[in-house]
Amino acid sequence: MRWLLLAVALSAASPAMAEPEPKALAAAAVETHVLPAYERLKNAAGALVEAAPSCDGDTLRPAYHALYDAWMGVQHIGFGPIERDNRRFAVAFWPDSKGFAKKAQDRLTAEQDPVVDDPEAFEKISVAGRGLLALERLLYDENGEIALGEGYRCRLARAIATDLARTAGRVVSEWQAPAPPATVRDLFASLDGGLQALTDLRLGRPLGSFANPRPRRAEAWRSGRSLSNIQLSLTALRDLCETAFAPQLPDSDRDRLAAGFEKTAQLAERTPSPLHEAVATPAKRIAVEALQTQTRALQGLVREIVAPAVGVSITFNSLDGD
Amino acid sequence: MRPARRGFLRAALAASATGALPRLSWADAGAPAYLAAAKTPDGHYALHGLTAAGAARFQIPLPGRGHAAAAHPSQPLAVAFARRPGVFALVIDCALGETRARLEAPPGRHFYGHGAFDAEGARLYTCENDFEAGEGRIGVWDASDSFRRINELPSGGVGPHELLFDRAQGRLIVANGGVQTHPDSGRAKLNLPMMRPNLAYLSPETGAALEIIEPPKALRRNSIRHLSLRADGAIGIALQWQGDLPEPVPLLATHRFGAPALTFLEAPEPEQLRLQGYGGSVAFSGDGALLGVTSPRGGRAHLFDIESSTFLGAAALPDVCGLASHGDGLLCSDGLGGLHRLGADVAPTTLKRHNLAWDNHLVGL
């Protein structure tokens, strides 16, 4: 795809072609936004595998956080190899309101299932028993950090790390293989869906209602990542918007979008952490609600400005089913 | 279809006026494999006939937005329903491209957008709302005699959205959505706290309930909306959740006459949540091995292996809704004009893209 990037650069430099083609921008966004982010995921997963043999929580926890950070840079990308074979859920099985992750882990540890010593077999266990959230359960409980020990739980942590690295490695290598190009619509759906997930899942689920907040529905609350996941996702979504779409917009619209992302980032910055405690504390909850109002408004702004500019319609069946 | 061909068909019919009346067949309409309503870029609506490869065989203008169509088993007749709460339906001759009859809902009734012919094509059954009583009705029309209304049956519930005629068993199968509406309140839902959807098997003669299956209590707000019938009588059901969505809910179920309960199918939670509580269409693959459900809100199609009840995967298809069998796979239509084939590998292949917005349903012939 490198030649496409060159084509964009050339067309941008040529006065005859003032506006880059949406298709070329989609290709450029893959090259500059998608692929490097998956490379970071792969590298972070590799570092986790290197940290795993120690069985030392203090070594593993930073590697876990670095990998989760990298995941937040790609989790909004809703197309390509991550969508194959349930890989997305094998990396991060969330939300999980029915507690499948706990059930899967309890079963493995109760049976001391030797599946953890065989990466190929481990790939076939429930996705809820694999991935970042499964690893989090080994490193944190509801009161914070816990020791990993040198027994079965350590073997399980190694298995999860290896599994994550295999998944990330496959995704990267399949991205390098020839494939149908990403479309403008794929990229728009990733941006729109990522913003919606902030409102509905990452904020909406723990917020619940005023009378009934649901702190444990926050993403990765045990390791205190809920708010930083929102911030990292916002950063990634802004990068996608600026790479794939902003070059096609008039300056005024570009400024409005930039201001919208900026305002959202500021509100996220001001939101009290940890998020799962904030939603259940009336004085702090209001800031979480304000952030949710803003992420919803930001999605509206993106739909208003970006969708028509790149020729993506989001009406008909999806907004008006029967 | 080209006017010349229609002229030829008309002349052929006229020439045979002295002899036995020749019956036109679906072959005279270009032998379409599917019917689908769509909106054109300039805002008009039409009913389209499509081949298995997704090519257009005919397009017939409709006066307004369509929903689904009922296809006659042998003659090239399609009944196109207005969207609910519509009060008319058009019987369209797809070979001649003209309206054969216009069905008017009787006073106090409106259509829901779906209907079905019986095995011989002698009767047409339509889903209707008796909105003063708040009860579902099935209108019965004589399809052999200018579509005169001849009877009305109870639907066995509230809000009958779609019905199928099981030609092998001679039974009507009705998706009673459970949601009560009144045209004075538009599409507003009036009874959500008390709603009780059901799947009803009815006698087509008397309307007697042969079997009524309700979802379990915890899923009473899951409106049973759309149906698909497998050759052996198994039913696929798409549901729409009418409530908050703190937990993911199943939006796909199967049932078999005589079984005590619905069997629900759902994807792993993070994937299931993407459907946003809304199953739009349901269909079995032609070989009956796969069952799919679409969600236009989530832009996803989910595929399951029936035998093992396993989730095979999801296809990302923005604004997808229409779904019908396509060989050993499924055909999906979307609001962006796309027609995509989906096989057991769940990797969609785009067969064709029309400059149209496909409406909610694809009807297989």
**pLDDT at residue A5, rounded to an integer:** 31
* DSSP single-letter state for residue A174: H
Contact B269/A97, CB-based, under 8 Å?
A: yes
Contact A322/B270, CB-based, under 8 Å?
A: no
**pLDDT at residue B51, rounded to an integer:** 97
d(CA A34, CA A181): 12
Chain A CB within 8 Å of residue B271 CB: yes
Which domains does chain B carry? 21-214 (2.130.10.10)
Query: Mind giving me the DSSP string for B154-219?
Result: E-SSS-EEEEEEETTTTEEEEEE------GGGTT--S-GGG---EEEEE-TTT--EEEEE---GGG
Closest to B232 (Cα-Cα) out of B293, B166, B278: B166
Which positions in chain A touch B332 (Cβ < 8 Å)?
none
Which positions in chain B touch A80 (Cβ < 8 Å)?
none
Q: Which of B240, B273, B293, B339 to substitute to test the interface with A, most A CBs within 10 Å?
A: B273
pLDDT tens by residue, B160-190: 999 999 999 999 999 999 999 998 888 888 8
Which positions in chain B touch A315 (Cβ < 8 Å)?
335
Contact A93/B268, CB-based, under 8 Å?
A: yes
The one-letter amino acid at B151: N
d(CA B155, CA B165): 13
**pLDDT at residue B4, rounded to an integer:** 52
Which positions in chain A touch B318 (Cβ < 8 Å)?
185, 189, 314, 318
pLDDT tens by residue, A258-294: 999 999 999 999 999 999 999 999 999 999 999 999 9
Q: Which residue has the tokens 């941008």?
A: A12
Closest to A98 (Cα-Cα) out of A136, A55, A128: A128
d(CA B69, CA B359): 11
**CA-based nearest residue in chain B for residue A126:** B268
**pLDDT at residue A10, rounded to an integer:** 29
d(CA B275, CA B316): 11
Structure token pair of residue A52:
């795993």
**Among the partner residues B113, B270, B318, nearest to A95 by beta-carbon distance:** B270
CA distance B247 to chain A (A): 7
Q: Is the dihedral of CA B224, B225, B227, B233 positive or negative?
A: positive
**pLDDT at residue B213, rounded to an integer:** 98
Which positions in chain B touch A197 (Cβ < 8 Å)?
none
Low-confidence ranges of chain B (pLDDT < 70): 1-9, 11-22, 246
Contact A321/B299, CB-based, under 8 Å?
A: no
Distance (Å) of CA B317 to CA A187, B114, B214, B270, B333: 13, 24, 31, 17, 9
d(CA A297, CA A315): 18
**pLDDT at residue B64, rounded to an integer:** 87
Chain A CB within 8 Å of residue B130 CB: no
d(CA A127, CA B311): 12
Domain extents for chain A?
A: 35-176, 184-319
Contact A100/B269, CB-based, under 8 Å?
A: yes
Let me know: does B315 contact B330? Beta carbons within 8 Å: no
Bond prior to A95 in cis (omega within 30° of 0): yes
Dihedral-angle region of residue B335 (phi above 0 means left; psi in -120 to 50 means alpha; beta otherwise): alpha
Which one is the CATH code of A184-319: 1.10.357, 3.30.450, 1.20.120, 1.10.3470? 1.20.120
Q: Which residues of A43-67 are buried (b: 16+ CB within 10 A; e: fewer)?
A: bbbbbbbebbebbebeebbebbbbb
Q: Which residue has the tokens 């030829």?
A: B8
Full strand arrangement of the beta sheet holding B329-334: B320-326, B329-334, B338-342, B349-353
CA distance B30 to chain A (A): 28
Structure token pair of residue A7:
């084509």
d(CA B295, CA B98): 33
Let me know: does A70 contact A37? Beta carbons within 8 Å: yes
Structure token pair of residue B106:
């009787």
Closest to A234 (Cα-Cα) out of A299, A285, A301, A189: A299
Let me know: does B177 contact B154? Beta carbons within 8 Å: no
**pLDDT at residue A3, rounded to an integer:** 31
d(CA B141, CA B147): 5
Q: Which residue has the tokens 């609506």?
A: B45
Hey, how many other C-beta atoms are within 10 angstroms of the C-beta on A200?
17
**Mean pLDDT (10-residue bins), chain A, 322 residues:** 31 38 85 96 98 94 98 95 90 93 96 97 95 98 92 97 98 90 87 94 95 96 98 98 94 97 98 97 97 98 92 66 66
ipTM passes above 0.90: no
**Residue B353 β-bridge partners:** B338
Q: For the structural domain made of A35-176, what CATH number should be given? A: 1.20.1420.20
* DSSP single-letter state for residue B278: B
Contact A88/B270, CB-based, under 8 Å?
A: yes
d(CA A100, CA B67): 39
Distance (Å) of CA B107 to CA A40, B129, B158, B181: 66, 11, 18, 16
Chain A CB within 8 Å of residue B247 CB: yes
Pinpoint the alpha helices (H) of chain B.
Answer: 3-15, 269-273
**pLDDT at residue A7, rounded to an integer:** 30
Closest to B68 (Cα-Cα) out of B58, B81, B57, B59: B81
d(CA A260, CA B187): 34
Let me know: does B236 contact B252? Beta carbons within 8 Å: yes
Let me know: does B351 contact B340? Beta carbons within 8 Å: yes
**CA-based nearest residue in chain B for residue A78:** B316
Chain A CB within 8 Å of residue B223 CB: no
**Could you give the angle at the alpha carbon of A308 between the alpha carbons of B45 and A300, nearest 5°?**
105
